[in-house]
């Protein structure tokens, strides 16, 4: 697409959004982005070396091959658009010192505060838990109440601190049982050498029973359901915790079991060509580009069809 054509679309999109926002009174032009996330948002391993590559991140990246959310806002809305990412490799939604509430607290401490916030967390909440020896492979994962409490602790802070007209998007998390299959298909090196030697997500990579891996995946669907429920409660202020009407959005529309294949990050089955060869569990540049495209297509500022992103 040439520069002229790329610049026409944003104007049209902006016009639609601004005209819509006049009625809603709850939208402001994108000025600054911050994010809460983990190694996926840090672009870990995206170019085949075993460390972070934030330039290749779906959220904060500057590599045109990814066309990140940061670049899209800068391209379509404002050349002076800026960002101050807070994602940390290793972070969980719930646990540790870099969890979602902690990262939300850091976002609120920024000056100036951002008016666009992207959130993608959860993989480590699953992969860091001990395998269960009971009939339920997901028995040692965080309970839904725990998951919800952590999300609320983060959203409470963002709803209170972000400027009027801000938009927060919380993406659904990918299913690690499908990442297992992508890595398994990629190479014997992944499943036979790297995963056991480097202890990569052993809750699924050390689980031989596909039905038990599905139990983990189904638990992730339930986590994503909670994200959708909490986002709806905050966005509509039906829980009374967002009186300033900060906008909250998510990509999750429901699980594949409910017919929602390829409608969100959480219902996309990554292919073996979309994960890296370092730990065979993180998206490479192509996988990051799909995340960015999906996030944009489901963001109130964006446009496009998720199915086009994930074909």
Partner 1 sequence: MNRLLAILPIALFLSACNEPRVAALGISDDEFAGLVAPVPGSIASDYSARERTVRLFGVQGEPAFATVADTTTWETWNLRVGDDLGRGLRTNTVQNEIELRDATGRTVTVARGGDVALRTITHRLDESAVYVGRATWRVSATAMQEVVALHGAGVETASRLDLFPVPATELVSVAPDGALARLGFRAGDFLFELNGQPATIDAIVERAQTAGAMTVTMYRAGAPGARTFRIE
Q: Which residues bind partner 1 (CB under 8 A)?
A: 39, 42, 44-45, 48-52, 62, 82, 84, 86, 88-90, 94-99, 101-102, 104-106, 109-111, 124, 127-129, 132-134, 139-143, 145-147, 149-150, 153, 193-194, 197-202, 278-279
Of 164, 37, 48, 52, nearest to 102 by C-alpha is: 37
DSSP 232-301: HHHHTTTTSS-TT--EEEES----GGGT-TTSSGGG----GGGB-SSSSSSB-HHHHHHHHHHHHHTSTT
Min separation Cβ 19 and partner 1, Å = 30
E strands, the chain, in order: 32-37, 82-83, 116-120, 167-170, 247-250
140-164 as b/e: b if 16+ CB within 10 A? ebbeeeebbebbbbbbbbbbebbee
Q: Which residue's CB is nearer to partner 1, number 7 or number 51?
A: 51
Min separation Cβ 104 and partner 1, Å = 8
- Rounded to whole angstroms, the Cα distance separating 255 from 146 reads 21
Min separation Cβ 6 and partner 1, Å = 20
Q: Which residue's CB is nearer to partner 1, number 145 or number 311?
A: 145
Q: Are 63 and 74 in contact (CB under 8 A)?
A: no
Q: Which residue's CB is nearer to partner 1, number 13 or number 96?
A: 96
Min separation Cβ 38 and partner 1, Å = 9
Min separation Cβ 49 and partner 1, Å = 6
Q: Which residue's CB is nearer to partner 1, number 89 or number 263?
A: 89
Q: Which residue's CB is nearer to partner 1, number 132 or number 239?
A: 132
């Amino acid at each position: 697409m040439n520069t002229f054509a790329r610049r026409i679309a944003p104007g049209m999109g902006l016009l639609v959004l601004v005209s819509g926002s006049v009625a809603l009174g709850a939208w402001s032009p994108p000025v600054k982005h911050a994010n809460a996330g983990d190694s996926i948002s840090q672009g870990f391993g995206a170019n085949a070396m075993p460390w972070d590559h934030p330039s290749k991140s779906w959220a904060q990246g500057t590599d045109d091959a990814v066309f990140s959310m940061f670049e899209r806002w800068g391209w379509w809305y404002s050349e002076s658009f800026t960002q101050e990412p807070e994602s940390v490799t290793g972070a969980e939604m719930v646990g540790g010192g870099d969890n979602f509430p902690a990262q939300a607290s850091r976002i609120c401490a920024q000056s100036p505060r951002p008016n666009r916030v992207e959130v993608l967390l959860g993989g480590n909440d699953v992969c860091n838990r001990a395998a269960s020896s009971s009939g339920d492979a997901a028995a040692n994962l965080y309970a839904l109440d725990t998951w919800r409490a952590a999300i609320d602790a983060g959203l409470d802070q963002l709803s209170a601190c972000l400027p009027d007209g801000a938009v927060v998007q919380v993406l659904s998390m990918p299913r690690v049982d499908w990442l297992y299959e992508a890595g398994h298909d990629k190479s014997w090196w992944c499943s036979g050498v790297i995963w056991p030697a480097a202890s990569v997500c052993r809750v699924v990579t050390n689980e031989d029973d596909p039905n038990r891996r599905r139990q983990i995946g189904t638990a992730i669907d339930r986590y994503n359901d909670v994200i959708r429920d909490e986002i709806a409660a905050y966005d509509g202020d039906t829980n009374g915790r967002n009186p300033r009407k900060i906008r909250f959005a998510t990509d999750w529309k429901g699980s594949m079991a409910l017919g929602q294949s390829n409608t969100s990050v959480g219902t996309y089955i990554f292919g073996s060509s979309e994960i890296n060869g370092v730990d065979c569990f993180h998206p490479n540049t192509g996988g990051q580009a799909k995340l960015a495209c999906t996030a944009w297509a489901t963001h109130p500022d964006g446009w496009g069809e998720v199915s086009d992103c994930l074909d």
